[in-house]
Amino acid sequence: MDQDTKIDDAATYFGITFKEEQQQAIKYFLSGKDTFVILPTGFGKSLCYQCLPIAIGSESPIIIVVSPLIALMKDQVQALRSRGIKAGFLIGDDGDDHSEMKRGLMDGEFELMYFIPEAILQTKISKAHCFSSLPKTN
C-alpha cells in the first residue's frame, strides 16, 4: 500500500482531512526519516503521530511521545483508547498504574506511549547508577 493510501485510511479512521503540512510530516514518518514538526497551536500536530498506528497497521512500532503536559497527555490517551488505539502513559515512578503501564510497555501492548520528560530522565539516571557500581578496569 502506498503512502497516500495509508494517509487517506488514517484520515478516514479519524474522520478528518489532513492539512498539507500534516501530510508532509506523516510521509516523512512513514519513510523512516527523523521528523521534527513545528506548527502553530491548534494546527493538529498531535494527529501527525496519533494517526501512525492506523497508517502503519499491524507492523507499527511503539511510538514514543514526550510531553510535559500531563492533563493533555491523559486526555489524548483516553481519546485514543476510545478509538481502539493502544495508548498509555508514564508520568511517575510509583503506583499500580505505573507498574501496569510499564509492564504493558515491556510486553509490547502499546502502539503509542506518552512520557513526561522526568520519566525519561529517571530511567537514564537509574541505568547510569547501575553502571557506576560496576568494577573499574584499566
- pLDDT (tens digit per residue) in 41-52: 999 999 999 999
In terms of phi and psi (left: phi > 0; alpha: psi -120 to 50; beta: otherwise), the region of 52 is alpha
Identify the domain boundary among 34, 60, 86.
60
Mean pLDDT of 89-109: 73
Q: Is the same domain home to 88 and 55?
A: no
Q: Is the same domain home to 25 and 38?
A: yes
Q: Is the same domain home to 19 and 52?
A: yes
Closest residue by Cα to residue 25 from 16, 17, 33, 13: 33
What's the domain count of the chain? Answer: 2
- Name the more confident of 68 and 19: 19
CATH at residue 87: 3.40.50.300
What burial letters (b/e) apply to 18-30, b meaning 16+ CB within 10 Å?
beebbbebbbbbb
Q: Where are the alpha helices (DSSP H) in 51-94?
A: 52-56, 70-82
> How would you list the strands of the sheet with 112-115, edge to edge?
63-66, 112-115, 87-90
Q: Is the same domain home to 95 and 31?
A: no
Q: Is the same domain home to 36 and 94?
A: no
Q: Is the same domain home to 52 and 68?
A: no
Q: Is the same domain home to 70 and 138?
A: yes
| SS3 of residue 119 by DSSP | helix
Q: The domain containing residue 105 runs over which residues?
A: 62-138
Q: What is residue 132's predicted lDDT score, i.e. its pLDDT?
A: 39
* Predicted TM-score of the model (pTM): 0.75
Q: What is residue 35's predicted lDDT score, i.e. its pLDDT?
A: 84
Element counts in the chain: helices (H) and strands (E): 7, 3
User: CA of 6: how far to CAs of 16, 49, 54, 55, 61, in Å?
Assistant: 14, 13, 8, 5, 16
Q: Is the same domain home to 6 and 55?
A: yes
Q: What is the mean pLDDT of the chain?
A: 82
Burial class (CB in 10 A: 0-12, 13-18, 19+), 62: middle
- Name the more confident of 13 and 57: 13
Q: Is the same domain home to 109 and 122?
A: yes
Distance CA 105, CA 82 (A): 19
